[in-house]
Amino acid sequence: MYLLQASRLFPPQKIPWYSTRVSKGREVGCFLEQINITCGKTLTVVGLDTGLLQDFMGSTSGFKNGQLNWLTETLEATTNSWIIVSGYHPVVICDKERVEAKQIYGALHNIFMKYGVNAYISRQGCSSHTVQDGVAYIGIADSIESEPLNSSNGRLAFRNFHRDTVNDWFLLHRVGSLEITTYFVSSAGKIVNKAVIEQRGKVAM
């Protein structure tokens, strides 16, 4: 997050900001932000260190189990809330990696379903993304340039941008009672893409 540049474009007294810092007393790489919004709801943003999960999945590592336990406890305590989880690694990825992904991130997907996570935001794994079991999986474009894709049959499509553009951006969430619009904004204040998340994972581009 480029918090300084973002706050210059959008006055912080009008918009509550969060950044991806490690929370005190939490597992390494995790963070939790809860922001009160209108309509009696809360926006809960949870960050995971998916690198640790990838390194230790299949083992009995305390890092892995501790992070999954922390995520479960955090989501259990969350009520009347929009929930966005973010991590670096995509949970839904390309066909050639599907078997490995299922082994590594199946537990995450099950937790997302059980506790009503609305969206998971990560690095983009494939050119198209999807909604699975009511959870919207949103991939942020990497450094490869391509043309924008249309969304169809419940699948998502994101435009890829050049590395120089992607390196300097932040996310802006517009939260309502029935949907969240997430804007991908450059440091110059240009909206380069957006995704609209409806309650329980329906997404429009």
Q: What distance in Å separates the CA atoms of residue 135 and residue 160, rounded to the nearest whole number? A: 22
Residues in the chain: 205
The residue ranges of every structural domain in the chain are 3-204
Q: From CA 168, how far away is CA 53, in angstroms rounded?
A: 27
pLDDT in tens, 53-95: 665 555 545 555 777 888 999 999 987 778 999 887 777 755 5
CA dihedral 47, 51, 55, 58 (to 10 degrees): 40
Mean pLDDT by 10 residues, the chain (205 residues): 52 58 52 78 84 57 70 87 84 58 71 91 66 82 43 35 49 80 79 78 50
Going by the DSSP 8-state scheme, the letter that residue 87 receives in this structure is: -
Q: Give the architecture (CATH level 2) of 3-204.
A: 4-Layer Sandwich (3.60)
